[in-house]
């Protein structure tokens, strides 16, 4: 039996905070962690695909309703090259 690979991606903001999203195919769950600029974990959550998808869709709707910066209905894809 072939072992499934875990997949993760990370994002940094201008203040040095780090958001990481990790996919665990064994449990079909995403783990999302936030680390502050000093390296301390400030928050962590685990959720399934549909919950994560709903979270981002809801965030997109809030952003569209509250800003005229975004003219398109979709967020641009993040730069994951590192």
Sequence ranges of the domains in the chain: 7-66
**Between 17 and 69, residue with greater pLDDT:** 17
Residue written as token pair 């201008």: 14
pTM: 0.56
Mean pLDDT of 5-21: 85
**What is the C-alpha to C-alpha distance for residues 27 and 21, in angstroms, rounded to an integer?**
15
At 9 the pLDDT is 86
CB 47 within 8 Å of CB 54: no
Q: What is the DSSP letter of 82?
A: -
Angle at 35 between CA 33 and CA 39, to 5 degrees: 140
Q: What is the DSSP letter of 16?
A: S
Residue 24 exposed, middle or buried by CB count within 10 Å (0-12, 13-18, 19+): middle
The string of pLDDT tens digits covering residues 17-47 is 888 889 888 888 888 888 888 888 777 888 8
């Amino acid at each position: 039996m072939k072992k499934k690979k875990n997949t993760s991606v990370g994002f940094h903001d201008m203040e040095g905070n780090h958001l990481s999203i990790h996919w665990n195919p064994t449990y079909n769950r995403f783990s999302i962690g936030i680390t502050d600029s000093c390296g301390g974990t400030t928050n962590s959550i685990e959720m399934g695909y549909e919950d994560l998808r709903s979270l981002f869709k809801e965030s997109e709707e809030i952003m569209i309703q509250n800003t005229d910066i975004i003219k398109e209905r979709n967020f641009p894809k993040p730069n994951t090259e590192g």
